[in-house]
Every structure is written in structure tokens, then in C-alpha cells.
Amino acid sequence: MQHLVDTNDFSDKQIADLLRDAKTFKTQRPIQLLRDKLLITLFFEASTRTRSSFEVAAKRLGAAVVHLDPSRSSTKKGESLEDTFANLCAMDPDGVIIRHAENEAPGMLADMQMTSVINAGAGNYAHPTQALLDLFTLVEHFDGDIQGKTIAIVGDIVSSRVATSGIRLLTRMGLNVLLVAPKPFMPESDLPQYDKLDDVLDKVDVIMSLRAQLERHETELFEDYDDYAKQYCITKERIKNRNILVLHPGPVMRNIDISDEMLDDPRCKVLTQVKNGVYMRMAILKLLLLDS
């Protein structure tokens, strides 16, 4: 039984297989590889992209999906996460896809070895399927030539599980990662750190913008989001005609993270990331439920 708690659960060969399968699924109508499989989704935090993307991916491969809404479950009566999970596993699913505020939640359930556990985002620790779909988007865009490319991760890095998983996977794949954020948004890291976005624009091939989560921070560094946007919003005025790919995991705060104009620019691949997310998640489900 294989789990996906973070991308280091996958070998280099498995990551290469995922990239190959995601590309195949994108170009050929997939056969119903998982038609006898059943997945349960268990999202303790809100989601638009990840939950629907997993559901679409599973259904495109013929799997059935059952969603348990924790806000209407016996969690409300005090049932523990472990007991909820064990009860779901008693119904013999082939995998449980979980999003949780606690960093340790997916790993803890995986250790129970009752079904394959797939982390759909945990605290600020890991969001492995986002990292893998971002890798797929980069490999596709650069036609496989990603070694030595430089990516700046910009924004609220310390709160971001996308950044944590992205840094682990992209450095492993040979990209140079720079961090751009005001001090309170900067994690402890050996990676190069900048507080001014303008200082990195001539060094990077890719910018990954992250959602500003000013409400999560105790230090009031900016009076409001407009004040933050003046320094960190990705705008055409700032990027000019540079050949920089712009990514964002979503949800994008328009004109704070990325400007309206930049979101419509062909260099911005936000919706390509969402599209690729389905194909990468199809590849992940195939690997976990069929190939392992």
C-alpha cells in the first residue's frame, strides 16, 4: 500500500512515470482504468480546485467518489479524526483523500495502514499534488528543460504549504529557488532571500505568486492589501516584456497577488495549472491505486 503524504514518498522513477502519464492523459482520451475503485474525499478545510480536480480525475478514470462533509459529520459530535477515518476504512475504499489544518494529519492516518492516504493539503507542511502539477506545468512549458531554471516564490511563503512542497520538489528537480517576501512572511531557509520583487526580475524564468494572507500574521506590516500590493503584486508594468512565466496555485487575490491585466497575459498560466492538475491527479491515482 502506497501513500502520498509529500512528494518524497515518490522515487525519481515514479515522478518521471507521473509526468509521462499526465502528458498521455492530456493528449489521449483515457480508458476507465479505475472503474472498480472507490475513493472517499474528506476535506476539513475549504477547497475549490483540489477537491473538484480529484473528483474529476477519479471520474475520468471510471472510479466512484464519495464525499464526506466534516461540517455535517459525526466530527461535530466529537468523533476523533482517527475514528472517523477507521469507520470510513471499514467501508473498504481504495483510498482516502484528505485536507486538514494539522500538518501531521495525513501522515498519522497513513501510519494506520488501513487504506491509501492522499494528502490534499495539510497545514503549512505539504500540498504534494499542487507541487506535482506545478512541476508538470513547468516541464510542459520548457519542453522538459527545467534543470537550472530559476523560480522566485513570492508572497506569504511562511504560511504556505504550496511553497513548502514546491521548494522540496523543485530543488530536487534541479531548479534554483529564490524566496521573495517581507520579513514576517519569510520562512527559515538556506535559499536566497529577497524582500524586493524588483531585485529578482532579471534573474528569474518563473514567478510563483502566493496568496497574501495578511490576516494570519500578528505583526501588522502593511496597513491594508493595497499597501502590500504596491510592493508584491505581479503587474505588466513591473514585468514589462520579460519572458517570465507566472504561476499561482489559487485562489488568486486579483490586483493584490496578480493584476487583472497580468492574469489575461499569455505568460500567466494559472488556468493551465488547474487544467494540468486534473491530468496529474489522474496519474497520481493510477500510480497509487493500480501500479503500487
Q: Which residue ranges make up the site for ligand CP (CB under 6 A)?
A: 47-50, 121, 130, 249-251
Which residue's CB is nearer to ligand CP, number 116 or number 165? 165
Q: Are 291 and 21 in contact (CB under 8 A)?
A: no
Whichever of 88 and 162 has its CB closer to ligand CP, that residue is: 162
CB atoms within 10 A of CB 238: 17
Rank residues 19 and 126 by Cβ distance to ligand CP and give the closer one: 126
| Grid coordinates belonging to 15 | 515522478
Task: Provide the pairing of β-strand 150-154 with 206-209.
Answer: parallel
- In the complex, the smallest distance separating the C-beta of residue 196 from ligand CP, rounded to whole angstroms, is 26
- Sequence length of the chain is 292
Q: How far is the CB of 121 from ligand CP (least distance, A)?
A: 6
- Shortest distance, CB of residue 240 to ligand CP, whole angstroms? 28
Contacts by 24-27 with C-beta closer than 8 Å and gap 24+? 25/60, 25/279, 25/282, 25/283, 26/276, 26/279
Q: What would the grid cell of residue 140 be?
A: 510542459
**Cα separation of the two ends of the chain:** 7
- In the bound state with ligand CP, the residue whose beta carbon lies nearer, of 106 and 249, is 249
- C-beta closer to ligand CP: residue 215 or 237: 215
Query: Angle of helix 128-141 relative to helix 12-27, nearest 10 degrees?
Result: 70
- In angstroms, give the least distance from the CB of 250 to ligand CP: 5
For cell 461535530, the residue is 76
Q: How far is the CB of 119 from ligand CP (least distance, A)?
A: 11
- The position carrying cell 516564490 is 153
Least separation, in Å, of the C-beta of 210 and ligand CP?
10
C-beta of 95 vs 249, nearer to ligand CP? 249
